[in-house]
Each structure stands twice: as C-alpha cells, then as structure tokens.
Structure 1
C-alpha cells in the first residue's frame, strides 16, 4: 500500500502534464491568469540544511531561481508554491526559514516582467526521510501547471 501511495504522489503531477527536470534544469510554468509565466530553476539542494529545532527531524533547503517570462507582474509566496516529496510518498510544505546555506525568499516576491530573483525554501522532514522530488506551481501552489525535479540521486 505504501509503495502504491508513493507512486501516486510521484506520478500525479506527471498525469496532470507537469514538466520534469533535474537539478539545474529550468522549467517554464504558467499561472492561472493571463500573462503569468515563470521560468523556475532548481539551483541546489542542501541536506541537511540544519537539524530541526525540536531534534525530531531535519531541515532540507532548496535554492530556486525565479524569472518572470510573462507579461504580468508575478506576486506570490515561493514557500507556499513549493513542496518536497519523500520516498515514502509524503508531501511536505515549504517554509520561510533562514538556513546557513543562504537567505530565504521574502514572504512575498514581486517580479516585474523580465525580473529575476533567487532564494531558499526550507522543508521540515523526519530524520530518516529519503528525498524523491521538489515540486513548484504558481498561485500559491494551486496552478495546474506543476514543475517537478527528481532528486533520485540526492
């Protein structure tokens, strides 16, 4: 049953037409409104970014580069747009937490067309969780166009 859930969690975005890439690959994504387009690049994964404050897990940080390639202003929270999937099929929400690897994105990022920025999104995971994939979707993670980067080698 767990294997089935893990497979569904990883295949779900693919069945919905998600773009897939590996670390360093740029994935173009669309939002729900006209002109919302963003090129998203997974720059690096830092595991562990630091121990979790409660000692029950660890923090993993992913650095993303966002470039507004659309005609509309991008205004969103990258932490709410990002998710991390583990090898057991669990999905973890992004956090705005500072880590030694580098600065987190601000709570809200605003990019004019042609603008770009980079920052970290952090995830709290159990100590033994294996990393499977990072997902990103505009509109607070609710857009139909979902980018996914495999972390199978992580």
Structure 2
C-alpha cells in the first residue's frame, strides 16, 4: 500500500505538470528564420546576436548593453596571429600575442563609454578563454584607448591584444558591452 506522502507528492507533480503545459513558455514556437539562417541567405546588415552560433570574421553583430538605449553594431575586422610586440610588450617565453581589430558603431540612443578591452575574450580550440592583455602597442596597429567614448551615430576602430600560450589555436573571438557584463555576447569564428 502506498504511503500518504507518496500519493500527495504524485498529485502535486501531476498538478504542476498540467499547469506548466498551458504556460506561454511551454507553448512558445520558434521563429521560422533564425539569425544564422538569415546570414546564410545573403543578408548584408547586422545580425541580431540572439543566435549562439558564431559568425565569420568580418560580419557585424548588433549587440545591446545593460543601460537603456545602449546598442552597438560590432564587427571583428581582422585577427593578427601572431602579432609582434614592442620592447615593452613582448610576451614571455611560451606565449604569443594575438591582436583583434574591432569596429564599433553606436546605433543606440545613448553615448557608449567603456573600456572595450574588458568586454573582449578569445577562446582556443580546447575551450580555454583568454582575457585581453595590457600592452602599449603591437605591429598590428593602434589599440583602443583605455576609455572609449562613442556618441550615437559615431564609430570607433581599434585593436585589442591577447596574450595566449604559444601552442593554443584560437577558434573564437567574443565581445560584450559594459566591460563584459552584458548578457548579449557576440561570437566570431576564427578561420
């Protein structure tokens, strides 16, 4: 004979399951076209970053920040691997520098003020992530300033440098606004 607690638990689970079946989350259907499908069909404009799938280097993603009206179209323009450092920014033995050039276009209604270096990361084929390195410059080109300010409609272009193990193969570049605290993260696959 079943215990009263077991019967009560079963009744509770059945009731909860029936209640969830009618909830909007349980009945939501996906849209017919994902951002990735739009990209493969020849779309030329920015891709909404709702897709967790990375896009090729050169593509533009539309990313939002934490603050109301904060929105940037972000593109990884190129990846320089390896990048040569200067006397003051040469990597230690067993490491190399990778420089990633980003283009930021403020499409929002508020001024973007942040340190783009804090919101960028590279990920290798093993899944190891690497934050930006503090370097003065590389042979790749000028870095973003420590604080970058872009008014609505404005643009900024600069490199972010990463120090990675010499044997790592970089597979992804990631970027998020608000020093990486925004949950809207763009990803680019490195060829």
TM-score of the superposed pair, with normalisation by structure 2? 0.68
Summarize the alignment of residues 2-151 of structure 1 with structure 2, pairs less than 5 Å apart. Answer: 17-18=51-52, 20-50=54-84, 52-97=90-135, 98-151=137-190
User: 1: distance between equivalents of 2:52 and 2:149?
Assistant: 24
Deviations 1:19-48 (CA, angstroms, capped at 9, x unpaired)? 631111000000011000000011000000
Unmatched runs of 5 consecutive residues or more in structure 1? 1-15
User: 2: distance between equivalents of 1:41 and 1:95?
Assistant: 20
Tell me the CA shift for residue 55 of structure 1.
Answer: 1.9
Unmatched runs of 5 consecutive residues or more in structure 2? 1-49
Inter-CA distance 70–96: structure 2 relative to 1 (3 Å threshold): farther
Tell me the CA shift for residue 94 of structure 1.
Answer: 1.4
**Greater strand proportion:** 1
Runs of 4+ in 1 over 2 A off after TM superposition: 16-20, 50-53
TM-score of the superposed pair, with normalisation by structure 1? 0.84
Deviations 1:82-127 (CA, angstroms, capped at 9, x unpaired)? 0000111111001342111100000010010000010000000000
Inter-CA distance 77–39: structure 2 relative to 1 (3 Å threshold): same
Tell me the CA shift for residue 53 of structure 1.
Answer: 2.7
Specify the SS of the correspondent of 1:58.
Answer: strand
Larger radius of gyration between Structure 1 and Structure 2: 2
How many residue pairs match? The answer is: 137
Tell me the CA shift for residue 67 of structure 1.
Answer: 0.5
When the two chains are superposed, the root-mean-square deviation of aligned CA atoms in Å is 1.5
| More RCO (CA 8 Å, sep 6+) | 1
